[in-house]
Amino acid sequence: MKALKNILVGFAVSFLGSIPLGFLNIIGFEIYSKTEIITLIFYLLGVISIEVFVIYFTLIFASKLLENKKLMKYIEIFSVLFMFLLAYVFYSQSGAKVENQDVLEKYKDYSPYVIGVILSCLNFVQIPFWCGWNLYLVNGNYIVSKSNLKFLYIFGTMLGTFSGMLCFILFLNLVTKSSTGLSNYLMSHIIPLFFIGMGLYQAYKFYKKYFKTKK
């Protein structure tokens, strides 16, 4: 029963956590819209190949990582800047010539698995995300992190991330393919604005956490 519970809880948390419109989902959507499903699968496998290590180490060292306020502060600063960088990349690419419009043009010679690995390494937001969730789940006795049961929890999270991203990307592709205008508007306006909004939101949380409380 504990084994099944670990798998289901891990699946639920990672599935829901992977659905929001993040940059890994956007890149996955770009890959799928320009190639085929097998390419997307290899990309997703690259993403979860890094996430599995993040989840494992944050599960083991979650409390110690959260106590390292200097490290967490740097991670949060990078996350804010990275959102604005992504907004600029997508907006600048949308205004380029058609033959150079593909955001992934510079990565075309790389394996989709390698692209997934590289971009997942840049997803520093997952560190505080999994630190917080792992502490909450362990302290609330929602999962058992002792012995080999923790690997079943991690297995569940991998299934959840893969399934959540795959479902979201396929759904986004279905919606945009029904309207070419929507697809172009998505890449040129909606996605850049989304990343700007995420950057501003994270910047506000950073300000509130480190400056507003000191007043």
**Whole-number pLDDT of residue 159:** 95
| CB atoms closer than 10 angstroms to residue 58 | 23
At 186 the pLDDT is: 61
The reported pLDDT for the residue numbered 40 is 93
Predicted local confidence at residue 44, as pLDDT = 96
Those residues of the chain that have pLDDT short of 70 are: 20-21, 63, 65-67, 82-83, 86, 89-109, 178-188, 191, 213-215
The predicted structure's pLDDT at residue 171: 87
As a whole number of Å, the CA-based R_g of the chain is 18
Q: What are phi and psi of 211, to 5 degrees?
A: -125, -45
Q: Which ranges in 19-99 belong to alpha helices (H)?
A: 23-34, 37-67, 69-94
**How far, CA to CA in Å, does 170 sit from each of 14, 33, 78, 159, 186?**
18, 9, 29, 16, 15
Nearest-angstrom CA–CA distance, 107 and 66: 34
The reported pLDDT for the residue numbered 182 is 57
Q: What is the pLDDT of residue 97?
A: 39
Q: What is the distance between the alpha carbons of residues 29 and 11, in angstroms, rounded to a whole number?
A: 22
Is the full-model pTM beyond 0.95?
no
Question: Shortest CA distance to 55 belongs to which of 20, 101, 14, 98?
Answer: 14
Question: How many C-beta atoms lie closer than 10 Å to residue 85's C-beta?
Answer: 15
Six token digits for residue 176: 């945009």
Q: Tell me the one-letter amino acid at 61.
A: F
